[in-house]
Amino acid sequence: MNSNNSLFKLIAYIEGVSNILLMCVAMPIKYIFLIPEAVKYPGWAHGIFFVIFGILAIYLFFKDKKPFTWLLLVGLAALIPFGPFIFNKKINH
């Protein structure tokens, strides 16, 4: 595995964790306890890692000549909770 794939795997993991924290911790705090500030920083962090994840996916798609189905799977993994973990073997080969 080259360094770009290792970086992508790391960012995919961080993006997945940030999504879970946002959805399972920050959002319930916001809506159950009516504290809208609870999503500010987790939302920013998730947004940053989501964008980095997408940019790295497009970069690897072109650089490593990955199949288009790989890019679609990565996009799907980024959009659903637990996606990067569920599709880990498929997107990180």
Q: Per-residue confidence of the chain (93 residues) as pLDDT tens digits?
A: 578 888 998 999 999 999 999 999 999 999 999 999 999 999 999 999 999 999 999 999 999 999 999 999 999 988 888 888 888 777 665
pLDDT for residue 89: 72
Q: In the prediction, which pLDDT does 1 show?
A: 57
Number of domains observed in the structure of the chain:
1
Q: What is the pLDDT of residue 84?
A: 87
pLDDT value, residue 65: 93
Where are the strands (E) in the chain, listed by range?
Answer: none
Per-residue confidence (pLDDT) for residue 22, from 0 to 100: 95
Nearest-angstrom CA–CA distance, 57 and 54:
5
- What is the dihedral sign for C-alpha 78, 65, 59, 12? positive
The residue segments making up the domain with residue 15 are 3-91
Report residue 22 as tokens: 């946002």
Is residue 66 within 8 A of residue 75, CB to CB? The reply is no
